[in-house]
Amino acid sequence: MLLYRMVKTGNQTLVENYLEHIKQEKSVSDSTIKTYNFIANSLPFSLMMTQGTIKRKLKDLYSNPNTLALYLNIIILVRRHNDEPVDRLIILRNSLKDDIIKTRKSKLDELDDVLPSMEVINEKLDELHGIDYIVNALMLRGLRNKDLNLIFVKRLPKTTRENLISIRGNKALLLVGDYKTEKSHGVKNIVISGDEGARMVKELKSLKLTDKDRLITKQNGEPIGSVSTFNDKMLGISIDKLGQNKLVKIKIRSLLKNNNFDAIEQICQDRGTSLQVLLRSYNLLNGAQSEQEQTE
């Protein structure tokens, strides 16, 4: 027990020093800090052991290639910061790529078997009102949880570092400046029009919001500061508690079956992601298609 405490303390110190170093060069998210600290606390061996020992212990502990790659990434970065060799660890990490692809396709196939159809989701969406409708409708447009931390404003500014929603006639307008891929895609300007826009406006008006009101708050009206608490809130609001990730997968599956590529492109824009990433990671048909291709 004493040895384990010493190992954990040593790993914590190494990770903290590395985080302080990268903080000088760029901003580090709370989720990144949390992940690094979790790994420092969970590894039962020192990050400074020989590469061969680390490889053997990691393989014994973790069979999932995604988990193994995550641990390797962090161990490599921390060791490199301390001028320790990483060449053998990098070779192991690179060898996991094919296994990761197979695992992802397998999980997509499993989800395809159990997730409801888009017709079922649309029926349930039509029955929702207020915040429940707004959140789920925006998730189905591809918005992530972080995007949905919205502030209602009477008039949108030209740009923002926050996530804003407003009304203009029968259109709902969003300006999303605080989201996962903002550095790559810039501020997202989203216009929801037509029947969907009219319904969104109706539900927004039913909330009787005033200028600068947040759509999602604590029970006392204060903003939700914790990312995990906000994510839990979004999961609870989502249809059948599926969460935004699965809802997007269901939507993409339906659009692909109907060859609606314009709508897929719109999701790419609203989500702030590339078509390549969307079709690789959110396409429930991906595994089945790949298996078919291999037999042709």
Domain 114-295 has CATH 2.60.98: no
Domain ranges of the chain: 2-95, 114-295
Both structure tokens of 109: 């196939």
Number of Cβ atoms within 10 Å of the Cβ of 64: 12
Instruction: State the number of CA atoms in the 13 A half-sphere of 241 facing the CB.
Output: 3
212-227 pLDDT, tens digit per residue, is 999 999 988 899 989 9
Any alpha helices (H) in the chain, and if so which ranges? 2-23, 30-42, 51-61, 65-81, 87-95, 97-114, 118-126, 130-140, 182-185, 194-206, 227-237, 243-257, 261-271, 275-281, 286-295
**pTM for this model (two decimals):** 0.63
168, amino acid identity: R
1-42 pLDDT, tens digit per residue, is 555 577 788 899 999 999 998 888 877 777 678 888 888 888
CA gap 158, 20 in Å, rounded: 35
DSSP per-residue codes, 65-114: HHHHHHHHHHHHHHHHHTT---HHHHHHHHHTHHHHHHHHHHHHHHHHHH
CA gap 31, 289 in Å, rounded: 34
163-212 pLDDT, tens digit per residue, is 999 999 999 999 999 888 888 888 999 999 999 999 999 999 999 999 99
